[in-house]
Structure formats: structure tokens, C-alpha cells
Amino acid sequence: MHLAHVALWTADLDAAAAFWQRYFNAAVGPSYRSARRPGFVSRFITLPDGGAEIELMTAPWLAGAGSADRIGWDHIAISLGSAAEVDALAERCAAAGALVSPPRRTGDGFYEAVIAMPDGTRIEITT
């Protein structure tokens, strides 16, 4: 088990990617546009020397009233190692009322589920 990435909402995806590249020498990956959530766009950046990944995310609803998504840090992602482990933990969390989003394959190829701590802080569990 290891930390897979942290996620950050931003109003300007290109400016955020350029910031991390300029000041931290991060490698910037290609843009991903979600078919399931129209308007959602993300890019992964990777810090040098085997460093962590940061998922930069943007969407038009960030400024909207009533949106749970806000500019700033959004979640951490924990890699459990296999789809079976994701399914098992998701099932345990569902029974406890802590499952936010059931396991699924995302458009960019990840197998993930989302759970929440008692205060609502989201944790993405992935393979």
C-alpha cells in the first residue's frame, strides 16, 4: 500500500501545471477530459526523482453555488495493489456508511472507489 497521488482543484489548469513545472521541475502529463463529467479536465504532474504525483483538476462548476468542489486540495489517493482489495475495502466502507462512490473503471483507465472519513474528507482507493 502506498500514496498514489494527491488532488488539487484549480481555476487555471495550464497556469497550475506551468507553476509546478517551473518551480519544482515537475513533468507534466497530457490533459484528460472526462466523458462522464463533461467539463472536467485534469493533468497529472510528477515531481522529479521518483517523487509524488499531483492530479491538477478543473471544471466549470468550481465557481458555482452549491458545488461540493472548491479550489484547493481535494483528496489523497491510496493504492491498495489490486482490484480485489479495492472491492473488499469499498464493501467494508459501504457497510459502515463511508462509501462515497463505488468501484469503477474511469475513462483514463484507473480502477477506483471513493470513501470518506467521518468529517467528509475524501480518500480515493485505487489499484
pLDDT cut 70: percent of the chain above it: 99
Predicted local confidence at residue 90, as pLDDT: 97
**Is the pTM for the entire model greater than 0.85?**
no
* β-strand partners of 103: none
Is 80 exceeded by the pLDDT of residue 64?
Answer: no
Q: 114, 110, 86, 85: which is closest to 101 by C-alpha?
A: 114
Q: What is the pLDDT of residues 101-118, one digit of tens each?
A: 999 999 888 899 999 888
The three-class DSSP label of residue 61 is helix
Q: Which residues of 87-125 are buried (b: 16+ CB within 10 A; e: fewer)?
A: bebbeebeeeebbbeebeeeeeeebbbbbbeeeeebbbb
Q: What is the pLDDT of residues 4-27, one digit of tens each?
A: 899 999 989 999 999 899 988 899
